[in-house]
Amino acid sequence: MSGSHPTRAEIEAGRKLFSAHWQFASAAGSIASLPPMRGVEIAFAGRSNVGKSSLINALTGRRALARTSHTPGRTQELIFFTGPAALTLVDMPGYGYAAAASTKVKAWTALIHDFLRGRANLARVYLLIDARHGLKAADAAVLKTLDDAAVSYQLIFSKVDQVDAAAQAALLARTSTALAQHPAAHPQLHVTSARDRAGIPELRAAIARLLAERQA
């Protein structure tokens, strides 16, 4: 993680938060089918196959809570998972999948835009970026959407186990410079690997801290 390291107490708070029972709650393919707002929501966005489902499974310690797929664009709905302390995790549809029909892409885009603007209890969007590739052109439109919606968002680099230390340092420096131009972006960057659990305790701690701040 780039930035301040969480304390032992924060790491433990994150562990406790995600060690409780997590379950699938609902799926929404339209604004009309969104579940009632409950407690605090955090959402995970990113390109298709960036590892959103794998990250959610790693956070919750549930191997198959979120469905993972080698088929890009499979998640076409907002998927809600509920846990303790009135916290809800939202798996957002992946973007950047060129083979999807244009009408379907437009529907996904409209759903995401409406969700971002209309969800008062949405505390943060975590935007996953493949650490092997960094920010791509498809990500730029999403950053603008998040800025326009004035939704607090933060970048998480996935698959960091496949990037050496020097490349990782360069990636973080380059991304920090780019994010300075985005008003809604949180400056702290997370690096994670669902495969070897790197960064997972720190991300849990950050989410627990965010939840505590929203409930204060």
pLDDT tens string 121-140? 999 999 999 999 999 888 88
Give the pLDDT confidence score for residue 98 in this predicted structure: 52
Taking residues 47-72, report their average pLDDT.
Answer: 80
Residue 72 has pLDDT above 70, yes or no: no
Q: Is the pLDDT of residue 81 over 80?
A: yes
The CA distances from residue 132 to 73, 151, 170, 191, 196, in Å, are: 20, 26, 12, 12, 16
The answer to whether position 79 is within a domain reads yes
CATH number at residue 45: 3.40.50.300
**Domain containing 186: what range?**
8-215
Size of the chain in residues: 216
Encoding tokens for residue 123? Answer: 């505390």
Q: What is the pLDDT of residue 107?
A: 74
pLDDT category of residue 71 using cuts at 50, 70 and 90: very low
d(CA 8, CA 6) in angstroms, rounded, equals: 7
Number of domains, the chain: 1
pLDDT at 111 > cutoff 70 = yes
Considering the entire predicted model, what is its pTM? 0.91
Within a domain: residue 106?
A: yes
Convert the pLDDT of each residue in 162-196 to its tens digit. 999 999 999 999 999 999 999 999 999 999 998 89
Residue 5, pLDDT above cutoff 70? yes
Q: Compute CA distances 214 → 122, 195, 203, 207, whole Å.
A: 10, 30, 17, 11
* Mean pLDDT calculated for residue range 48-60: 90
Please say if the pLDDT value at position 73 is more than 70. no
Q: Is residue 165 part of a domain?
A: yes
Q: What is the pLDDT of residue 101?
A: 62
Higher pLDDT, 214 or 124: 124
Residue 2 lies inside a defined structural domain of this protein: no
Q: Is residue 1 part of a domain?
A: no
Q: What is the pLDDT of residue 4?
A: 62
pLDDT confidence band for 145 (50 / 70 / 90): confident
Confidence of residue 90 (pLDDT cuts 50, 70, 90): very high
The answer to whether residue 202 sits within a structural domain is yes
Distance, in Å, from the CA atom of 126 to the CA atom of 81, rounded to the nearest integer, reads 15
| Within-domain flag for 86 | yes
